Structure 1
Amino acid sequence: MNIFQSILYPPPPSLFLNAITAVSLIAGANFGISEVRGTHLAYSKFWNWKEAAPGKSTAGTAAKVSGRTGMLILYTPALVAAAVLFFIPSIMAAPRGVLVCAALGLHFLKRDLEVLFIHKFSGNIMIDSAIPISFGYFINTVLIVISQYLSTGMPEPEINLTYAGIVLFLVGITGNFYHHYLLSKLREKGDKAYKIPTGGLFNLVICPHYLFEIIDLFGIALISQTLHSYCFAFGSMFYLMGRSVATRNWYMSKFENFPTGVKALIPYFF
């Protein structure tokens, strides 16, 4: 039994979609390598770090928005895309179309709700980083759903991973939310100082929220079982792996008492 036939729908007959699928995977891996090398997308603590570093301030040279506004720019277009696609009957009639679109919508709805009600922000976000990230989320959301639509009439994967995907998705989205909640509780109102997070899996890894986001995205990929959904999940995983290494390095540089046994992403391993 061919392993690809067992877990994948055949690639769609679209040169454009297949090219974008490859780009999604390569771009994620490239961004991950860049994070490890110290070239960060300008958001979260890394923007503040670069801004504060001697000789590296970019203040006044590029447009910035508040952290909350910037994060809404990142996620809202993808949420709107998933919501609009959900009401297109021909797309929702595709195998697993409703489940895939609903999972994507919940993924980005949770993110927006966290931005509005959970996260605390201490800095700004560069517009020239926010826009390409936002476009990436938007176009990949659209193409995952379109890939599902193009699977209509194609041979079903020999192994149906839908239910496993639903379980992974629910575990991922719940674990991600829980650890974001723990992060939000590190600061009192008005407090902008960074602290070493504790509780949950933070005692084992510095980025458990990234770990659960990866689980979430692979859950969506297993629900979908299309090439594009898998490549987007792998590309995101490579980026978040690099981001977690950069995050651990950041904490080690800022806190002398950072516990060296705490890994970046995977407990006891990585």
Structure 2
Amino acid sequence: MVTVTISPAGRFPALAPKLPISLVLGEKTLENATVADVKQAIAAQFPKFYPERQKLSLKGDRKALLDDDTLAKIGFESGGELNVKDLGPQVGWRTVFLVEYVGPIIVHPLFYYFPRLFYGGEVQHSLLQKYCLGLVLLHFIKREYETVFVHRFSKATMPFRNIFKNSFHYHVLGGILLAFDLYRPKYAAFSPAVLGTKRDQLSFLWFWSAIFIFAELSNLKTHLILRSLRPEGTRKRAVPHGYGFNLVSCPNYFFESLAWFALSMMTGSYAAWLFFFAGSAQMAQWAVKKHKAYRKEFGSEYPKDRKAMFPFVF
């Protein structure tokens, strides 16, 4: 039988006003009682303070404890103390992704098919604009498909406030700003920026469209590889291999960046370049974190010559 004292980390959580409390984990031992078991026991005392809202840490330490770790593994002794912090209202990762990606799917057709609302007049769309609409919708519909049928998430939820921050990138930068620039009269059929230029040539459009589609299919392939490494309902992690993973830790980010680079080169749009650079910078940060996490978790098993995101460079 294991006894755990739970005290607040910082200010008292509003949903658990009676802290500190002492919990008894039934017939559990230090060797088989997990951090997740402690969270469940807290939730049993304070039903609205559900496990996903809780961040547990050792007394005096801010580092979050992993749900799957046993109390013995984290060095806890029966009768000891853990700190809990309220992470705030949570929302499912899958829900966040669905909300993020649906924005551009709605926004781009609105700007394309109802130009009078946004530009004050009709726009005779160029072939370039038609290709842009198709490629952008391809990307975000694919992302919605992956969210529902491909991705397996290691964490069930994230703070609810993040849905607004995450959606800004897609709804505003990749939605409103990108759509406004791509479908405006500047890139219309008889605009000097298009008519008689390379952006009016099928070979030019096909070349960059082919790179975009290659990058999208490659991105999907890497997601399928990652899915195969994690059995459903688990947080299992393994060293990924094959199709890009032999060069970088996060080829999914590399291929997504390549897709938006292709669209930027095809259009020359300032909004496309902004979306490309902003997205690539964020993905590079994530890639570095994942790269370091892989090296720390798998040690000598992890290939030393892999870069984080860009082959042979970074």
The interval holding the TM-score normalised by the smaller chain is 0.7 to 0.9
- Rounded to whole Å, the distance in 2 between the matches of 1:91 and 1:106 is 22
**Equivalence for 1:80:** 106
The 3 A distance-change label for structure 1 pair 150 and 235 is farther
**Equivalence for 1:255:** 298
What is the CA deviation profile of residues 53-101 of structure 1, one whole-angstrom value per residue up to 9, with x for unaligned ones?
Answer: 7514485332211221121122122222224334336457256222212
2:264 to 190, 212, 221: 221
Unaligned ranges ≥5, structure 1: 1-47
RMSD over aligned CA atoms reads 2.5
**Residue 217 of structure 2 is aligned to residue 169 of structure 1:** no
CA contact (8 A) 2:101 2:143 kept: yes
Under a length normalisation based on structure 2, what TM-score does the superposition of the two structures give?
Answer: 0.64
The alpha-carbon deviation at position 232 of structure 1 amounts to 1.6
What is the CA deviation profile of residues 143-195 of structure 1, one whole-angstrom value per residue up to 9, with x for unaligned ones?
Answer: 22211214143533954353332122111111101101111111122222222
CA contact (8 A) 1:75 1:108 kept: yes
User: SS of the counterpart of 2:86?
Assistant: coil
Unaligned ranges ≥5, structure 2: 1-51, 65-83, 116-121
- Rounded to whole Å, the distance in 2 between the matches of 1:159 and 1:242 is 35
CA contact (8 A) 1:76 1:112 kept: yes
Equivalent pairs: percent with the same residue?
A: 23
- Rounded to whole Å, the distance in 2 between the matches of 1:234 and 1:107 is 17
The 3 A distance-change label for structure 1 pair 92 and 112 is farther
CA contact (8 A) 2:87 2:159 kept: no
Aligned-partner residue type, residue 129 of structure 2? G
- Rounded to whole Å, the distance in 2 between the matches of 1:159 and 1:235 is 26
Alignment of 1:188-207 (within 5 A): 188-207=231-250
2:131 to 99, 106, 109: 99
The 3 A distance-change label for structure 1 pair 212 and 92 is farther
The structure with more strand, counted as a fraction of residues: 2
- Rounded to whole Å, the distance in 2 between the matches of 1:155 and 1:202 is 40
CA contact (8 A) 1:91 1:145 kept: no
1:132 to 144, 148, 165: 165
What is the CA deviation profile of residues 175-228 of structure 1, one whole-angstrom value per residue up to 9, with x for unaligned ones?
Answer: 101101111111122222222212211122110000100111112212322112
My pick for the range that moved more, 90-99 or 115-124, is 90-99
Aligned-partner residue type, residue 282 of structure 2? Y
Greater CA radius of gyration, 1 or 2? 2
- Rounded to whole Å, the distance in 2 between the matches of 1:218 and 1:245 is 20
Count of aligned residue pairs for this structure pair: 221
Alignment of 1:1-270 (within 5 A): 54-57=61-64, 60-88=86-114, 90=122, 93=125, 96-123=128-155, 124-140=157-173, 141-148=175-182, 149-151=184-186, 152=188, 153-156=191-194, 159-160=198-199, 161-256=204-299, 257-270=301-314
CA contact (8 A) 1:147 1:228 kept: yes
CA contact (8 A) 1:205 1:266 kept: yes
CA contact (8 A) 2:229 2:236 kept: no
- Rounded to whole Å, the distance in 1 between the matches of 2:158 and 2:89 is 9
With a CA cutoff of 8 Å and minimum separation of 6, indicate the structure with the bigger relative contact order: 1
The alpha-carbon deviation at position 254 of structure 1 amounts to 2.1
CA contact (8 A) 2:223 2:252 kept: yes
Runs of 4+ in 1 over 4 A off after TM superposition: 51-54, 56-59
CA contact (8 A) 1:86 1:102 kept: no
